[in-house]
């Protein structure tokens, strides 16, 4: 087969494949929280964008009512043009067999400063560690890689980077790799 047209923009929402469960999950979130934006509902994948003030409440709701019990990954994305840094929690469920295929991406954004001082500037997000203990090391990594300070995390230390790292957080877009 030919894939000549494969580089076109792909449809983000294929409603024919999404199951009723996906729909009901997203509906229950949007019903409960009016400010929450459901970014997309793909087969087994839901993405929810929330404000950072609301993330604790939404996460507690997801854990207690929707039975997502652990974080698969916590990734930070830098958006310099929006002056924001996004943190995406991919949540999964071990306890609920019907949800075992599903990944719920919970995204929130923090303001970004051009001259980062990790821990001492406005790039602060509430930590989800009390709700999902599995995010603790992921949030530490996110702190050192993007400079997002997690308020309420007891252990905001470096994890992977060397102790004498004196540059800006390396996963920000204005940190350029030499020669690239």
Partner 1 sequence: MSSHVYPKEKEIFPGLQLEKVDDRIMTLNVGPQHPGSGHMRIILKVDGDYIVHCDPDPGYVHRGEEKMAEYRNYITNIPHLERPVIHDSCNILYPYCLGVEELLGLEVPERAKYLRVIAAELNRCVYTQYWLAIYGIFLGHSTMFMWPMGDRELVIDLLDKMTGARVTHAYFVPGGVRNDLPPNFEDVCLRQVNYFEKRLKEYADIFYDNPILISRTKDTGILSREDAIKLGTTGSVLRASGVDFDIRKKEPYDVYEELDFQTNVLKEGDSYARSKIPWLDMFESCRIIRDALKKMPKSGSVRVKLKPNPKGGDTEVYRRVESGRGSLGMHIISRGKPQPYRLKISVGSFRNLIAMPHLLTGEMLGNMPAVYWSLNYWPVEADR
The answer to whether 95 contacts partner 1 (rule: CB under 8 A) is yes
Degrees, nearest 5: CA angle 57-140-64: 25
**Strand 124-126 relative to strand 37-42: parallel, antiparallel, unpaired?**
unpaired
C-alpha pair distances (Å), 123 with each of 35, 106, 172: 21, 18, 13
Residue 31 Cβ, how far from partner 1 at the closest point, in Å? 24
Q: Which stretch binds partner 1 (CB under 8 A): 23-31, 53-61, 109-117, 153-161?
A: 153-161
How many residues of this chain bind partner 1 (CB under 8 A)? 48
Q: Which residues are CB-neighbours of 123 under 8 A, at least 6 positions away?
A: 85, 110, 111, 112, 113, 116, 146, 147, 148, 149
C-alpha pair distances (Å), 98 with each of 17, 48, 158: 16, 20, 37
Q: Which stretch binds partner 1 (CB under 8 A): 21-29, 49-57, 88-96, 115-123?
A: 88-96
Task: Please identify which residue in 6, 16, 20, 164 interacts with partner 1, judged by CB under 8 A.
Answer: 6
Task: Please identify which residue in 59, 71, 110, 148 interacts with partner 1, judged by CB under 8 A.
Answer: 71
Q: Which stretch binds partner 1 (CB under 8 A): 30-38, 42-50, 54-62, 115-123?
A: 42-50
Q: Which of residues 51-70 bind partner 1 (CB under 8 A)?
A: 69-70
């Amino acid at each position: 087969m030919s894939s000549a047209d494969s580089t076109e923009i792909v449809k983000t929402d294929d409603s024919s494949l999404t199951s009723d469960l996906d729909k009901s999950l997203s509906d229950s979130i949007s019903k409960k929280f009016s400010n929450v934006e459901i970014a997309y509902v793909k087969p087994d994948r839901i993405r929810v964008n929330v404000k950072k003030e609301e993330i604790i409440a939404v996460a507690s709701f997801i854990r207690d009512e929707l039975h997502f019990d652990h974080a698969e990954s916590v990734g930070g994305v830098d958006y310099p043009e929006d002056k924001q840094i996004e943190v995406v929690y991919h949540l999964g469920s071990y306890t609920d067999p019907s949800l075992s295929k599903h990944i719920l991406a919970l995204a929130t954004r923090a303001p970004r400063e051009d001259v980062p001082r990790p821990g001492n500037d406005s790039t602060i997000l509430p930590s989800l560690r009390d709700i999902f203990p599995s995010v603790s090391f992921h949030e530490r990594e996110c702190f050192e890689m993007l400079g997002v300070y997690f308020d309420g995390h007891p252990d905001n230390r470096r994890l992977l980077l060397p102790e004498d790292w004196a540059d800006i957080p390396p996963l920000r877009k204005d940190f350029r790799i030499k020669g690239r």
